[in-house]
Every structure is written in structure tokens, then in C-alpha cells.
Structure 1
Amino acid sequence: MEKLINDFSFGLFFWQTLIFIGLIFLLKKFAWKPILDAVNERETGIKNALLSAENAKKEMQNLQADNQRILQEARLERDSMLKEAREIKEKMIADSKTEAQAQGLKMIEQAKAAIESEKNAAMAELKSQVSTFSIEIAEKLLKDELSNKEAQTKLVEKMLGDVKLN
């Protein structure tokens, strides 16, 4: 160190200082600025990439939430449609049963009416035949009774005895 102090020259110091300051100025102007710009640009790119990744993550969470919501709505709609279909099916079955019962009752009533009509017709026919037979029998009896004079007298007396005067 003593040798440095003894050999010290102001001219050399001045030129070295001047070259050093020029070198710093040139480095600042041509090297540091592009290096710092590249570092800043890289830092900005990394920040943007992180923000994009964060936004993509949020977007993915939103999409998953939307998918869950849509899926839930679809399930609810499906359940609603199935319930409605079951209700329609049950209503159709009940309506069919009611209609079948009504048709059955109508057919029974028609059958009863037909039976009653046939019964009345048969009764009328029977009465007609009975009255015809009765008249025929009465005619035959009257012919037999009226052909005999003594029997006629008995019949007239009997009828007069049956008739009561007021």
C-alpha cells in the first residue's frame, strides 16, 4: 500500500476517473437501460401471466358453479316432469276406471230395462193367452150349460143369488 501512495500520479488518476465516469455513462445509456427494460418487461409479463392464471382460475370456478347450478336446475326440472307424468298417468287411470264403471252401470241399466221390457211383453202375451183360453173355456162351458134347460135355470138362479140389491 505504501508503494501505491508513493507512486500516486494525479494525471493518471484524473484520466482513470474520466474513463470510469465515461464507461458508467455509456453503460447507463446503452447497457443498463435495455437490461432494466428487459427485466421490467419480464416482470410485467410474469405479473400478467399470474393475473391471467388467477382470472382463469376464477373463471373456472364460476363455470363450475354455473355447471352445478344448471345441473341442479336440470335435475329439478326432470323431477318435476316425472312427477307431472305420474300425476297424468294416475289421472288417466282414474278417469278410465270411472268411465268403465259408468259404462258398466249404463250397460247394466240397459240390460235391466231390456229384461223388464221382455218381462212385460211376456206378461202381456201370457195375459192375452190366458184371456183367450178363459173365453174359450167359458164358451164351451156356456154351450154345455145353455144346451140343457135345467142347467140354464140353475145358472140364472145362482147368478141372481150372487147379485145383492142395495
Structure 2
Amino acid sequence: MELLSPGLGLIFWQLIGFLILLFVLSKFAWKPILGALHERESSIEEALTTAEKAKEEMKQLQASNEQLLAEARKEREAMLRDATSAAGKIRDAAREEGEKERKRMVEDAGLEIESQKKAALADVKQQVASLSVQIAEKILRENLQGETAQKSYIDKLVDDLNEN
């Protein structure tokens, strides 16, 4: 039973050893341990503060990025509108130019047709006149082979001229 209940001397020496250990630890170990704990605590606080600042900066950057994206979208939409408008103007100008060219070609073709028509009519008139003269000459040669027939025909023509 002696092991279960220590003696008073043993308790005294254990207390003395504990106090010496406590004194040595407080003199040499507690200050460095507490300093390291304080240093660690301050570095953790700095890291948290830095993380909070970084988080704020990220929020600001994200807001800035969203604003830039919105501006880029607006600019893209404006460029698309401008491009569409320009394409429409170019298309309209090309259509008008094509219409003018078509009208000019139609007018030129009409003038060409008219000049060819006049030339053809003049040619037909010339051919008709030539054929008429040839036919009249042949008819007159047949009918007016005698001198009396020629004189009577000439008198008839002169009378017709006088009446007109």
C-alpha cells in the first residue's frame, strides 16, 4: 500500500522539482513560446486582413470586368448597327445604280431600234420606189409602143396635173 499513498517527503521533493522546472521553463521557455504564439497570431491576422483586402479587390475587379463587358457589348451592338446600316446604304446605292444603268440601256436600245427602224423604212421606201419605177417603165413600154398612144397618155397626164 505504500505505493498507493506516497509519503510526505516524496511529495515535498516532487513539489520542489516541479517548482524548479516551472522556474526554468518560465525563465527560458515561456517567453519564446509566447513570443512565437503572438507572432503566429499576428501573422494569421495579417493573412486574414490580406485575404479580406484581396477579396475586396477581386470584387472590384469583377465589377470592373462586368462594366467593361457591358461596354464592349454596347460597342459591339453599335458596330453591328452601323455595319448593317452601311450595308443597307451600299445595297440601296447599288440598286439605284443598277436601275439607272437599266434605264439607260433601255433608252439606248430604244434609240437604236428607232434608228434601225427609220433606216429600214427608208430602205423599204427606196426599194418600193425603185420597184415602182421599174414596174411603171415596163408597163409604159408595153402600153405605149405606138406614138399616138404616147401622145394621148402625155395629154392625159398634163390634164391631171392641171386639175390638181
**TM-score when scaled to structure 2?**
0.69
Q: 1:96 corresponds to which residue?
A: 98
2:58 to 56, 59, 71: 56
| Equivalent residue letter for 2:55 | A
Question: Where does residue 128 of structure 2 map in the other structure?
Answer: 126
Distance 1:128-1:152 versus aligned 2 partners, 3 A rule: closer
Per-residue deviation, 1:135 = 2.9
Over aligned residue pairs, what C-alpha RMSD do you find? 3.1
Secondary structure of 1:72's counterpart equals helix
* In structure 1, distance between residues paired with 2:84 and 2:39: 65
Q: Where does the alignment leave 5 or more consecutive residues of structure 2 unmatched?
A: 1-20, 159-164
Measured in 2, the distance between the counterparts of 1:107 and 1:152 equals: 54
What residue identity is the alignment partner of 2:93?
K
* 1:54-77 Cα distance to aligned partner (Å, 9 max, x none): 111111112112111211111111
Overall identity of the aligned pairs, in %: 10
Is the counterpart of residue 76 in structure 1 residue 73 in structure 2?
no
Q: Deviations over 1:105-124 (max 9, x none)?
A: 12111211121111001100
- 2:40 pairs with one of 38, 41, 59: 38
Q: Which residue of 2 aligns with 1:117?
A: 119
Q: Distance in 1 between matches of 2:144 and 2:113?
A: 45
One-letter amino acid of the structure 2 residue matched with residue 102 of structure 1: R
Q: CA deviation at 1:132?
A: 2.1
Separation of aligned partners in 2, 1:101 and 1:33 = 99
Unaligned runs of 5+ in 1: 1-18, 160-166
Query: Comparing 135-144 with 46-55, which one deviates more in the overlay?
Result: 135-144
User: What is the deviation of 1:53?
Assistant: 0.3
> C-alpha displacement at 1:136, in angstroms?
3.3
State how far apart, in whole Å, the 1-side matches of 2:33 and 2:69 are: 53
Which amino acid in the other structure matches residue 106 of structure 1? D
2:145 is paired with a residue of what secondary structure? helix
Matches within 5 A, 1:133-148: 133-140=135-142, 142-144=144-146, 146-147=147-148
In the superposition, the TM-score normalised over structure 1's length comes to 0.68
